[in-house]
């Protein structure tokens, strides 16, 4: 079996050597001979797993049974590598994806109050995102803006984009320490405030309804026109909210900027202040100017994010995070059937712009 192809790390990114008795050798000993394990980016995610046993290439039941039998080494690999990618297993659709991941417990809170527009496909399988294809989705940790967030995030490639559309990943360990000391202190001491403003779809002649502004209604986002049901969902998840006189909805959280990993105790960068900042590198030059002209300083915008002291990131602070993450960034080209599982606190993910149809599916786990 050949080494995985179409892999690259960000230009100029340092790599650490993989010594004898390394995490890869430990993983090989734990997983046995039915699979081939490689580490395309030494010292970085992911661990790459391909089947050697022919049965694992054609029988999804056998593959699911293999996954269940190797749950302990998978968990160890997630802590060590931060991510695991399976290639060459017989995953051809949402049913196979869900079956392969049967041993993992779905995230009980689902994607309520998430920031990306996505729809359910089947069961616990969702679209990855409906964010416009020209947008670079910055590296981030899933739902770090909410009190409750998934431990694991799984991606399945049904159809890669014609061009671009890579799911980029990065090891988040050491990111906090890579930032300027004053910024570290600001995140640790102040945390991050995240907010959403959603309009009432029943308002007539609402200029914000123009799709160009990406200003969603709470009825569409929560799938109901029952305001009490929406409030109950937010309250259950510890999310503050309020309604204005026109029944527009505002909800927000004030979360820590860091977290201690529950298994290792390591202090980690864990927030989305960078990913949710509408910077030109993410949304282009035209969108911020459009929003400034339409909303100004008086009309609540669809999103708002700031450090806990109420001030947004400075340009210098934004680039200190951006540059550190880009140095850690790892890309690979999706192939149909690929499944990627991330440890959410240890490994960030994002998406490069793309052209053509792209079908990447997602599941969230406890």
pLDDT by residue (tens digit) across 83-123? 999 999 999 999 999 999 999 999 998 888 788 778 899 99
Report the pLDDT averaged over residues 43-57: 97
Q: Which of 54-63, 99-108, 285-294, 334-343 has the lowest mean pLDDT?
A: 285-294
Report how far residue 324's alpha carbon sits from residue 193's, in angstroms, rounded to the nearest whole number: 22
Is the pLDDT at 227 greater than 90, yes or no? Answer: yes
- If you ran DSSP here, which 8-state letter would residue 131 be given? S
Tokens of 137: 């989705």
Is the pLDDT at 298 greater than 60, yes or no? Answer: yes
Q: Which of 19-23, 32-36, 51-55, 345-349 has the lowest mean pLDDT?
A: 19-23
Is the pLDDT at 6 greater than 60, yes or no? Answer: no
Is the pLDDT at 285 greater than 50, yes or no? Answer: yes
Are the CB atoms for 90 and 96 separated by under 8 Å? yes
Report the pLDDT averaged over residues 222-236: 95
Tokens of 93: 């659709």
How far from 255 is each of 143, 194, 269, CA to CA, in Å?
Answer: 11, 8, 12
Is the pLDDT at 322 greater than 60, yes or no? Answer: yes
pLDDT at position 248 is: 97
Is the pLDDT at 19 greater than 60, yes or no? Answer: no
Helical pair 60-69 and 71-81, crossing angle rounded to 10 deg? 70
Percentage of the chain beyond pLDDT 70 is 94
Contacts with 13 (C-beta within 8 Å, 6 or more apart), sequence order: 326, 327, 328, 329
What are the b/e assignments for 337-352, b being 16+ CB within 10 Å? Answer: bbbbbbbbbbbbbbbb
Report how far residue 122's alpha carbon sits from residue 130's, in angstroms, rounded to the nearest whole number: 17
CATH of span 7-174+324-365: 3.60.130.10
pLDDT at position 115 is: 81
pLDDT by residue (tens digit) across 187-208? 999 999 999 999 999 999 999 9
Q: Name the one residue in this structure whose structure tokens are 């053509």.
A: 356
CB atoms within 10 A of CB 64: 18
Are the CB atoms for 88 and 94 separated by under 8 Å? no
Report how far residue 280's alpha carbon sits from residue 257's, in angstroms, rounded to the nearest whole number: 23
Report the pLDDT averaged over residues 5-11: 40
Which helix (DSSP H) or strand (DSSP E) does residue 184 occupy?
A: helix 181-190
Is the pLDDT at 4 greater than 50, yes or no? Answer: no
Report how far residue 34's alpha carbon sits from residue 49's, in angstroms, rounded to the nearest whole number: 10
pLDDT at position 118 is: 82
Report the pLDDT averaged over residues 122-129: 94
Domain boundaries, the chain: 7-174+324-365
Are the CB atoms for 332 and 83 separated by under 8 Å? no
Is the pLDDT at 5 greater than 70, yes or no? Answer: no
Q: At residue 31, what are phi and psi to the nearest 5 degrees?
A: -90, -25
pLDDT by residue (tens digit) across 160-192? 999 999 999 999 999 999 999 999 999 999 999
Q: How confident is the model at residue 21 (pLDDT cuts 50, 70, 90)?
A: low
pLDDT at position 287 is: 87
Helical pair 71-81 and 23-31, crossing angle rounded to 10 deg? 170
Report how far residue 317's alpha carbon sits from residue 323's, in angstroms, rounded to the nearest whole number: 10
Burial class (CB in 10 A: 0-12, 13-18, 19+), 211: exposed
Is the pLDDT at 1 greater than 60, yes or no? Answer: no
pLDDT by residue (tens digit) across 249-265? 999 999 999 999 999 99
Q: At residue 314, what are phi and psi to the nearest 5 degrees?
A: -75, 165
Label the pairing between strands 240-243 and 83-86: unpaired
């Amino acid at each position: 079996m050949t080494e995985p192809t179409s892999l690259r790390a960000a230009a100029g990114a340092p790599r650490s050597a993989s010594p004898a008795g390394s995490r890869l050798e430990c993983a090989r000993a734990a997983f046995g001979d039915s699979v081939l394990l490689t580490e395309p980016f030494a010292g970085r995610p992911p661990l790459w797993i391909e089947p050697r046993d022919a049965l694992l290439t054609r029988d999804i039941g056998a593959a699911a049974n293999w996954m269940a039998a190797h749950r302990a080494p998978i968990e160890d690999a997630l802590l060590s590598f931060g991510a695991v990618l399976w290639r060459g297993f017989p995953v051809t659709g949402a049913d196979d994806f869900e079956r392969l991941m049967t041993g993992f417990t779905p995230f009980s809170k689902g994607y309520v109050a998430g920031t990306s527009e996505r729809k359910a496909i089947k069961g616990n399988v969702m679209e990855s995102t409906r964010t416009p294809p020209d947008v670079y989705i910055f590296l981030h940790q899933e739902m770090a803006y909410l009190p409750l967030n998934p431990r694991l995030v799984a991606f399945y490639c049904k159809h890669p984009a014609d061009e671009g559309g890579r799911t980029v990943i990065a090891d988040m360990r050491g990111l906090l320490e890579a930032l300027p000391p004053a910024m570290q202190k600001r995140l640790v001491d102040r945390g991050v405030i995240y907010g959403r403003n959603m309009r009432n779809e029943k308002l007539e002649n609402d200029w914000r309804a123009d799709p160009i502004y990406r200003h969603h209604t709470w009825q569409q986002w929560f799938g109901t026109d029952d305001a009490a049901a929406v409030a109950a969902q937010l309250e259950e998840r510890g999310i503050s909210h309020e309604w204005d006189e026109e029944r527009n909805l505002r909800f927000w959280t004030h979360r820590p900027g860091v977290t201690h990993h529950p298994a290792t105790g390591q202090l980690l960068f864990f927030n989305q202040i960078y990913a949710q900042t509408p910077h030109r590198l993410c949304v282009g030059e035209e969108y911020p100017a459009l929003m400034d002209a339409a909303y100004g300083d008086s009309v609540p915008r669809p999103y708002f994010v700031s450090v806990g002291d109420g001030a947004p990131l400075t340009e210098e602070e934004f680039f200190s995070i951006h540059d550190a993450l880009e140095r850690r960034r790892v890309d690979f080209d999706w192939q149909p059937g690929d499944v990627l599982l991330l440890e959410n606190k240890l490994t960030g993910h994002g998406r490069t712009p793309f052209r053509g149809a792209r079908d990447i599916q997602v599941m969230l786990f406890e």
